[in-house]
Structure 1
Amino acid sequence: MTTTERKTRVDLARKAPAVYKAMIALDAAARQGLDPELVELVLTRCSQINHCAWCIDMHTADARTIGISEQKLYLLAAWEEAHGLYTDKERAAFALAEAITVLTDGFVPDSVYEEAEEHFEETELAQLISLVLTINAWNRIAVSTRKTPRVR
């Protein structure tokens, strides 16, 4: 095995099927009421932060399928510098998603949360938070089990 080859680890879907099914249900529930384009962008951004190649590959493919532009996908990692490309609502969602994902200071800053509150009604904000929590769990599952995207 070379340094670039890595053995896949436990298959959670087969060895912990109840957990896997619960994650699928959680994922479906977290998406409810959110714009599908926003969902795929947030899922991709969190996956970038967590270095989850499996999820980045899956969510960028899903994003393309629903019509998200290549430019939006390519510049997502630098969304703060891509002025005019993302809506204020998307930018607020990305900032909140990053704050929840990284927890650099051990909490989500009030300013980030308040910005999100300006763009999302309370129910939608709860769904967004749930979406971020769910993708972070998926990312940790994929990274810890070494799921890798298939080469096309």
Structure 2
Amino acid sequence: MSSTTRRVKLATLVPDFYKAMIELDRVSDEGLDPKLAHLVRIRASQINGCAYCTDMHSLDLLQFGTDQQQRITLLPVWREAKNFYTDQEKAALQLAEAITLVSVDHVPDDVYEVAAQAFEEKELAQLIALIITINMWTRVGVSGKMEPGHYKP
């Protein structure tokens, strides 16, 4: 299959599904720090190879100031750049990676426990919902070959 193969547009052809995704997205991060939510979205998008979502959420995070640029740049190596992230953010990123790569190790108990210690139960549930939702969106982006550079915050 060539790279010029036309891809279906889910928003046009299955609008009810797309509207449901938008609603999931709307409620998935309620009560979470928006900067943390965007970091998690960016990291899952990077892992899944979704350039559109990586671009989108990076631009969204940059709305919080230029000091976020270095945190975005270092995100693929956050474990080595740990001074740039709070303990709560590190717990969220670790959980995001485990859920995103669920087929590798499922979600190890130790990873879950670190997140459970860092978040109140309701926040943890919201974080899990957010991670599940961004993983769904990245599959929309990757399967549709959505290109970065078109999103405006």
The question of whether the paired residues in 2 share the 8 Å contact of 1:101 and 1:136 is answered with yes
Q: Quick check: 1:140 aligned with 2:133? A: no
Distance 1:72 1:149 in 2: 20
Q: Structure 2: give runs of 5+ residues left out of the alignment.
A: none
Bigger shift: 5-14 or 74-83? 5-14
1:108-127 alignment runs, 5 A limit: 108-127=107-126
Structure 1 partner of 2:73: 74
Q: Structure 1: give runs of 5+ residues left out of the alignment.
A: none
Q: 1:149: Cα distance to partner?
A: 1.1
The question of whether the paired residues in 2 share the 8 Å contact of 1:8 and 1:146 is answered with no
Identity %: 50
The question of whether the paired residues in 1 share the 8 Å contact of 2:82 and 2:90 is answered with no
| Pair 8,73 (structure 1): closer, same or farther in 2 beyond 3 Å | farther
The question of whether the paired residues in 2 share the 8 Å contact of 1:13 and 1:20 is answered with yes
1:9-28 alignment runs, 5 A limit: 9-28=7-26
1:1-152 alignment runs, 5 A limit: 6-67=4-65, 69-150=68-149
Specify the code of the residue in structure 1 equivalent to 2:46.
Answer: Q
Specify the code of the residue in structure 1 equivalent to 2:70.
Answer: Q
**TM-score with structure 2 setting the length:** 0.92
Q: 1:31: Cα distance to partner?
A: 1.1
**TM-score with structure 1 setting the length:** 0.92
Bigger shift: 39-48 or 58-67? 58-67
Runs of 4 or more, structure 1, over 6 Å off, are none
Distance 1:151 1:17 in 2: 21
- What secondary structure does 2:36 align onto? helix
Distance 2:8 2:97 in 1: 28
Q: 1:69: Cα distance to partner?
A: 1.4
Q: 1:72: Cα distance to partner?
A: 0.2
| Pair 109,11 (structure 1): closer, same or farther in 2 beyond 3 Å | same
- What secondary structure does 2:142 align onto? helix
The question of whether the paired residues in 1 share the 8 Å contact of 2:52 and 2:141 is answered with yes
RMSD of Structure 2 on Structure 1 (CA): 1.9
* Deviations 1:108-129, CA, capped at 9 Å, x for gaps: 0000000001110000000000
Q: 1:83: Cα distance to partner?
A: 2.5
The question of whether the paired residues in 1 share the 8 Å contact of 2:98 and 2:105 is answered with no
Equivalences, count: 150
